[in-house]
Structure 1
């Protein structure tokens, strides 16, 4: 789906069909190369800071890390949060009162292994029983993704899977053939944005290249979702006051005198051990 100038220019049926069907949709060429290069610079700075403090970077597998960040430390945050396609997708799937609850980035470095198939959190009753999506994850790559650099892999349609009485996030290995038969590897290019249900079964694949693959993550909830409890989005009063109302109306965060260290709560213990392959 190519970029357009207003949220109303995007087809709601196409958005809903993609996210309720495959569980993922993309907007090609949403940002120019300069904007993405600036985002990559910010991620690299923030990662260096995170690695320098205990608990600053969460392990999501060997040579793979996740870091939550303060929106005002990312120069393009407002551009992303107010992008017409992002707004259109949020309104279509989550309703007009959607809330931005997470900002962070994921980096698989050279040597990162396959992750186990998983979803990012347990499926809520609204999805498992009510068949309604109440959260989305937006991903923005900062490099052109190739097969060697450890692309994201998703099993389309599995956001509706009931994992039964076992682990609510990690399906049993006897289910792997089902996911591998459905698997699609995504190869986004610089400037692309994707939106997905974090409940669709997915994994990061092995990075066999010599470069890292930083990806920015924006987490968004419907009004009844509770993923904000896993995060600590915070902004200073000056930043809050300077935000456009179109962003401020959807940002669920603490307003603080000075930015505080984020105590990351969204740990996923099952990802710390990667898989060969």
Structure 2
């Protein structure tokens, strides 16, 4: 497998205050046109094959509601992994928010298929005292769509600023009660990214996938990154074959929490979200 070259943005520097203000304010930021459409098209050809294989393997795909799945993958399953994790905007966001010793802990993809329904508003995991008390964010989720998202394809919705909301009434620390839904509906921003766009968000910011009433799936790549000690690597199993790992630049290896193996092992999904598997909003 060869590593392709992403289209690099013209600017080499990104404004740290703007990055911090976006993540700590709205809880989500983005960069349009970060990758070429050709690069994304290649990713779009790779993910369906991985999806088919995951669906055929016990534990290979996790339900995220009706006609929705999440699949965790091996980095070397996609040809653009190195391009992704060395993209200067992603590096800048990780370094600014999580510090210079940030760790990549997860790569996978979500697929809201035709017939997917509105998810309940939720966080991807409970907030810890580092956020609730110390007011620090210690993880980021990057999303990269493989298609031009249209209104009927079940766009992602997010309620800006809610990464700081008190979760004391939340079920399992993740699912707000229905009584709070009007607040999130009022705040909601619906995202319609195009091929090549990247977003970065706190997974604590209240969000949901909406109903896909089209006849097209909406695959989106997910990259999970932690500050040191955040601990989300315990729910994932990032693996590299020795041959692939040895060709990675040291500056990439420094940011990985992974296993190096002689042969890749099937991933048994460890990050299930029971409230999403049990139904829809």
Verify same fold: TM over 0.5. yes
SS for the counterpart of 2:265 is coil
Q: Distance in 1 between matches of 2:250 and 2:192?
A: 34
Q: Which residue of 1 aligns with 2:228?
A: 223
1:258 is aligned, of 249, 258, 263, to 263
Aligned-pair CA distance for 1:115? 0.3
Q: Distance in 1 between matches of 2:93 and 2:49?
A: 30
Count matched residues: 273
Report which stretch shifted further, 9-18 or 266-275.
266-275
Q: Which residue of 2 aligns with 1:77?
A: 81
Q: Distance in 2 between matches of 1:172 and 1:214?
A: 28
Aligned-pair CA distance for 1:246? 2.0
Deviations 1:109-133 (A, max 9, x none): 0000000000000001111111000
SS for the counterpart of 2:152 is helix
Whether the 8 Å contact between 1:3 and 1:27 is mirrored in structure 2 is no
Matched, 1:58 2:62: yes
Report which stretch shifted further, 246-255 or 89-98.
246-255
Q: Which residue of 2 aligns with 1:100?
A: 104
Structure 2: give runs of 5+ residues left out of the alignment. Answer: 1-7
Aligned-pair CA distance for 1:63? 0.5
Q: Distance in 2 between matches of 1:5 and 1:45?
A: 34
Q: Which residue of 2 aligns with 1:244?
A: 249
Structure 1: give runs of 5+ residues left out of the alignment. Answer: none
Q: Distance in 2 between matches of 1:24 and 1:106?
A: 18
Aligned-pair CA distance for 1:41? 1.2
Question: What RMSD over aligned residues (CA atoms) do the two structures have, in Å?
Answer: 1.2
**Residues 92, 122 of structure 1: CA spacing in aligned structure 2 closer, same or farther, 3 A cutoff?**
same
1:68 is aligned, of 63, 69, 72, to 72
Normalization by structure 1: what TM-score? 0.96
Q: Distance in 1 between matches of 2:251 and 2:198?
A: 20
Report which stretch shifted further, 192-201 or 244-253.
244-253
2:202 is aligned, of 175, 197, 202, to 197
Report which stretch shifted further, 164-173 or 250-259.
164-173
Q: Distance in 2 between matches of 1:251 and 1:42?
A: 23
Matched, 1:3 2:9: yes
Q: Distance in 2 between matches of 1:175 and 1:165?
A: 10
